[in-house]
Amino acid sequence: MIYDHGNMVSFQGLKRGMSTGEIPMSSDGCGEGLYEMDKEQQTFFQKVSDDYGDFIKARASKEELRRRIEPRMGGRVLDIGNGGIRDFFSPMTQQYIGLDFSLSMLRKGNQGVEKVCGDALALPFKKEIFDTLFYRSMLHHLARKKVNETEVRVKQALVEGYHLLEEKGNIMVVEPCISQGLEKIERVCYFLIKIFCRIIHQPEVLLFSAKRLRKMLKDSGYGQISEESIPPRGGNRWHLVSPVIGLPRLKVPFGLLPVRQVVVEAKKHD
């Protein structure tokens, strides 16, 4: 399903048989029965889509991220788990496609994105047509009940993307990363995270260390992997941010959170 501000639009890069208007649509999300969807995540993002714009207003490091991301964005960009949001405008970019499995998120987002409703684990595009793949604050939402199942899903998503990249293409992953030490504790205490998420009616999330992200990219076939930490907005560690989507009113000084924004970039080949 391609959806662009209420209108169906056509896009040559869609897989054969997947064209506009043909795919049955549920009330939120796309292609019911067509892709393996995570209904709980979809329903959650449907619920938060009204407030998501406000949630990300206070987000740290937008300018710093732009400086790093925009020069590395290629001609045709696929933003996976896009949420209808476009924050990056590189003069090199000719086409910016945002894919998300929540129609509500796509509908409530902003302009300048060609919106495609689909699943990150079964991308509905032809092979080798994108110059840049972009995943921002998305991979940790692929969490499952078990840590190793989550990693399998993340790698599955990254391999899906790999097939769509041009030979010289690059991938950029922006994630809130934790230290390796904290990651060990998180994995042991994952059951507590799941309980907390249940209490606040949010599906579980699993944060990764930058090292883990690099490893998952390597295991998924990517090469030339590099990482960069993004400093907080204007270098101000006391800038208030919302750390949990399910609790949008909770604001915490960025410097007190045990996470850092990291951009991990890789190329299709070494």
Ligand X SMILES: C[S@@+](CC[C@H](N)C(=O)[O-])C[C@H]1O[C@@H](n2cnc3c(N)ncnc32)[C@H](O)[C@@H]1O
Which spans of this chain sit near ligand X (rule: CB under 6 A)? 38, 41, 45, 56, 81-83, 85, 100-102, 105, 119-121, 136-138, 141
State in angstroms the smallest separation of the CB of 84 from ligand X. 7
* Residues in Cβ contact with 99 at an 8 Å cutoff, skipping those fewer than 6 apart: 78, 79, 80, 81, 82, 115, 116, 117, 118, 120, 123
Instruction: Between 4 and 38, name the residue whose CB sits nearer to ligand X.
Output: 38
In the complex, the smallest distance separating the C-beta of residue 81 from ligand X, rounded to whole angstroms, is: 3
**Beta carbons within 10 angstroms of residue 16's beta carbon:** 6
The CB-of-167 to ligand X minimum distance in angstroms stands at: 25
* Cβ distance to ligand X smaller for residue 184 or 201: 201
End-to-end CA distance of the chain: 34
Smallest gap from residue 66 Cβ to ligand X (A): 13
The neighbour count for residue 187, using CB atoms within 10 Å, is: 14
Whichever of 101 and 222 has its CB closer to ligand X, that residue is 101
- Report the alpha-carbon distance of residue 152 to residue 216 in Å, rounded: 9
C-beta of 100 vs 183, nearer to ligand X: 100
For the sheet with 223-230, list strands across it.
2-3, 114-117, 95-100, 76-80, 130-136, 165-177, 260-267, 223-230
Q: Which is nearer to ligand X, 90 or 168 (CB)?
A: 90
Strand, helix or coil at 266?
strand
Q: Which is nearer to ligand X, 50 or 188 (CB)?
A: 50
Q: Which is nearer to ligand X, 224 or 254 (CB)?
A: 254
Q: Confirm if 20 and 8 have CB atoms less than 8 A apart.
A: yes
Q: How far is the CB of 98 from ligand X (least distance, A)?
A: 8
- Closest separation between CB of residue 270 and ligand X, Å? 28
Question: Rounded CA gap, 57 and 39, in Å?
Answer: 27
Strand, helix or coil for residue 12: coil
Minimum Å gap between C-beta 35 and ligand X is: 8
As a whole number of angstroms, the distance between CA 52 and CA 64 comes to 21
Q: Is-contact 201 246, C-beta < 8 A?
A: yes
Nearer to ligand X, 101 or 162 (CB): 101
Shortest gap between Cβ of 141 and ligand X (angstroms)?
A: 4
Half-sphere exposure of 170 (CA within 13 A, CB side): 16
Estimate the crossing angle of helix 190-199 against helix 180-188, to 10 degrees.
Answer: 70
